[in-house]
Amino acid sequence: MEFGSIALEAIVGFIALFILTKILGKTQMNQITVFDFISVLVLGELVGNAVFDENVGVREILFAVALWGALVYFIDFFTLKVRRSRKILEGMPSILIRRGVIQYDELKRNKLDLSQMLQLLRNKNVFSLKEVEYAIFEPSGTINVLKKHKYQQPNHQALNIPEQEVLLPITIIGDGKIIQENLKEIEWDENRVTMEVEQQGYQLEDVVYAEWEKGKGLFILTSE
């Protein structure tokens, strides 16, 4: 009976976790945030401990999984609706290298040293800092790199293509909301955004995503 009880609880816990995963949605392992990682650990501990606790039955396991799932779902829903909460709950990307210059304040803030950053760059097949125009440290712990123009593939230097300025597109609208801090980067205000959107034949409320790049203007994606 003891082995049968453990087997039953393990199977129920497995099925409950499987269903919870389907409900909450899929996230690639290399894209999970710190909060996602902690959630997985705690949920695994809840089920694991419950399976081998004689005083805990199937109902308690299902209750623990459902309660934790509801909390995670609420946090995901909250961060989706309240953009400002993402900085606290999910973290924000950090620019570690801007226009070829290392941002040591950002390294310190993210508790990284130069050796760790170089290792992350090597994972992206970048073995020299002189190649990097921008390096962005993501909340998932990965790094994304935008190389200087002459080092981009195909190798522009080898093809004798004149060197050009490398520019980072700036997100102006995300999830249908204007990102005020990014407007300061390009010295725009909300009226300018509205005008630019309407010039392309759209209404501001229909825009889901928009990014601005020097020389190329505003790129817009709508909900339709």
Are 172 and 218 in contact by the 8 Å Cβ rule? The answer is yes
Name the one residue in this structure whose structure tokens are 């981009």: 152
For the entire predicted model, the pTM comes to 0.56
Q: Digits of tens for pLDDT over the chain (224 positions)?
A: 466 666 676 677 667 766 766 665 545 445 555 566 666 777 777 677 766 666 767 777 777 777 777 777 777 777 677 777 666 666 678 899 999 888 989 888 888 888 888 889 889 988 888 889 999 998 778 899 999 988 888 767 777 878 877 778 888 888 788 888 888 888 899 999 999 999 999 988 889 889 998 888 889 988 76
Q: Do 172 and 140 form a contact (C-beta atoms < 8 A)?
A: no
CA distance 203 to 193: 11
- If one counts every other C-beta atom within 10 angstroms of the C-beta of residue 55, the result is 6
Alpha-carbon gap, residue 169 to 185, rounded angstroms = 11
- State the pLDDT at residue 13: 66
CA separation for the pair 2, 150 (Å, rounded): 68
* Confidence (pLDDT) at 214: 84
Residue pair 112/137 in contact (Cβ under 8 Å)? The answer is yes
- The pLDDT assigned to 197 comes to 92
pLDDT at position 1 is: 45
The pLDDT of residue 136: 93
pLDDT at residue 93, as a whole number: 86
CA 153 vs. chain centroid, Å, equals: 26
Contact 190, 178 (CB under 8 A): yes
Q: Provide the residue type at 87 as one letter.
A: K
The reply to whether omega before 162 is within 30° of 0 (cis) is no
pLDDT value for 29:
47
What is the four-CA torsion angle of 129, 130, 131, 132, rounded to 10 degrees? Answer: 60
